Structure 1
Amino acid sequence: MTSVQDPAAAGAALDAAAGRMRALAAGLPRPDGVAVFASVYLAVTDEVRVRLAAGGFADRTAAAGLAADFAGRFLAAVDDAAAGRRPPACWRPLFQARRHRGVHPLQFALAGINAHIGYDLPLAVVASCRTLGREPEDAEGDFERVGELLVRLEERIREQLMPGPDLLDVADPLTHFAGAWSLERARDAAWAAARVLWRLRGLPEVGEEFTERLDQSVGLVSRCVLVPLRGACDG
């Protein structure tokens, strides 16, 4: 992961991550679940890059490093899956179901957001604080700014990926899934998890167990989100 102490390096890493996401979104078949999430996440990354360039974060160094570390965790999971290694448990449902024709693109997007927010984000916050020697509370303002971008993006995702009136047989279960999962609640849980992990840094065995359980529980939610829906459109 990129050191957050070097904002130029973090910015370059974020640019590189955006390029990789763009390549994933363009290079994979359109219905592929990883391509769906990469396209979604690219929009967030580009918005963060614009905000960074415009001075939209209180601490540009911390924000750039957090964003670079955060993006790198998704791409590391992609690399693990491509190399035949086991990615974190939270990401496995997406990679396993990525070509299932009964899973709607909205489900892929929500499962990816769930894994990335629920697991990757708290780990990225803790890694950034360790590198900078700061408390999580020092990064809370920029965490909230990123969260605001994600909430607006989630709204656009739901609008763009929900099926039209000609697919009402799909829309009913999709509405249930989309309504049952909340990005705001996931973001709040991620912040709480980051604070717990920070407090556990002096107890490595307990921290490792907490991290493993967090990974598994977030993965369980993703697996539920990705239950195939009979009659889902081809994407």
Structure 2
Amino acid sequence: MAQMEHFATRADLRTSPVDSVVERMHALRDDWPATDGVAVFNRVYLAVTEEIERRIDDGEFPDRRAAVTLDVLFAQRYLTAVDAAAAGRRAPACWRPLFQYRRHPGVRPLQFALAGINAHIGHDLALAVVDSCRTLGCEPVDLEGEFDRVGDILILLEERIREELMPGPDLLEIADPLTHLLGSWSLERARDGAWSAARLLWGVRELPGLAEEFTERLDTGVGLVGRCLLTPWR
């Protein structure tokens, strides 16, 4: 966590640390084959991060420092999971299904993308809000505007992801079991759950045992959803 805090607070954000996150994701994209399941999510998340950076630079986030801090600490949780898997360490439970199934031929690209989004929104976002509050010395309510703007971008991109990665002609999509599976998951509901989890974690921050137990259960629950999203179809 200390590494994340240093990454977010260094300098005065005249040079956005988001650039370093984008560069790392570009490097991962270049290293992984396009069919790799984590690479599918990485491409999606890279597009999201670049869009957020563009909007920050355009002044669409009133509190630039808060927006950059939240964006970077959020991304660092994904990158830390990638590093853990690469080093043979146990990644958080929410990420394990994606790393385990990343080369499974029966899992479709849309499943990989949504499983990664599920892990990142369902688990990492709540913890990134708490990380940001500690870094900035503020309360979750002070970040609600930045949280909502990031969430709006994610929802717009989710629609594009479904359109680009959903297989089959429109007339056949209704009969595709994948349609029914993915229709049971909603980014908007996941985002609302992340905000509630962040507020709860902040409320119990002085009760470390309770906070740790809740975080562990959140991680496990999101991981179970991810495993369902990655159900192979052949």
Whether contact under 8 Å (2:123, 2:194) holds in the other structure is: yes
What is the rounded CA distance, in whole Å, between the counterparts of 1:51 and 1:86 in structure 2? 34
Calculate the TM-score normalised by the size of structure 2: 0.93
Residue 21 (structure 2) aligns with: 17
Matched, 1:84 2:82: no
Identity level (%) = 65
Indicate the larger mover: 125-134 or 98-107. 125-134
What is the rounded CA distance, in whole Å, between the counterparts of 1:124 and 1:61 in structure 2? 14
1:1-235 equivalences in 2 (<5 Å):
1=4, 2-4=7-9, 6-8=11-13, 11-12=16-17, 14-165=18-169, 168=172, 172-230=176-234
Whether contact under 8 Å (1:163, 1:171) holds in the other structure is: no
| Matched residue type, 2:53 | R
CA drift at 1:5: 7.0
Whether contact under 8 Å (1:163, 1:170) holds in the other structure is: no
Whether contact under 8 Å (1:151, 1:184) holds in the other structure is: yes
1:160 to 1:29, Cα distance in 2 relative to 1, 3 A: same
Calculate the TM-score normalised by the size of structure 1: 0.93
CA drift at 1:110: 0.4
CA drift at 1:173: 1.3
Deviations 1:4-29 (CA, angstroms, capped at 9, x unpaired): 475428822x2111112122223211
Indicate the larger mover: 200-209 or 167-176. 167-176
Whether contact under 8 Å (1:44, 1:149) holds in the other structure is: yes
What is the rounded CA distance, in whole Å, between the counterparts of 2:78 and 2:175 in structure 1? 29
What is the rounded CA distance, in whole Å, between the counterparts of 1:164 and 1:19 in structure 2? 34
Deviations 1:187-229 (CA, angstroms, capped at 9, x unpaired): 0000000000000101001000100000000000000100101
What is the rounded CA distance, in whole Å, between the counterparts of 2:96 and 2:15 in structure 1? 27
Whether contact under 8 Å (1:70, 1:120) holds in the other structure is: yes
What is the rounded CA distance, in whole Å, between the counterparts of 1:7 and 1:136 in structure 2? 21
Task: Give the count of matched residue pairs.
Answer: 229
What is the rounded CA distance, in whole Å, between the counterparts of 1:93 and 1:178 in structure 2? 16
CA drift at 1:30: 1.4
1:200 to 1:63, Cα distance in 2 relative to 1, 3 A: same
1:9 to 1:205, Cα distance in 2 relative to 1, 3 A: farther
Which residues of structure 2 form unaligned runs of 5+? none
Deviations 1:92-135 (CA, angstroms, capped at 9, x unpaired): 00000000000000000000000000111000000100111111
CA drift at 1:178: 1.9
What is the rounded CA distance, in whole Å, between the counterparts of 1:4 and 1:140 in structure 2? 20
1:125 to 1:166, Cα distance in 2 relative to 1, 3 A: closer
What is the rounded CA distance, in whole Å, between the counterparts of 1:222 and 1:53 in structure 2? 33
Q: Secondary structure at the match of 2:176?
A: helix
1:6 to 1:195, Cα distance in 2 relative to 1, 3 A: farther
Residue 233 (structure 1) aligns with: none
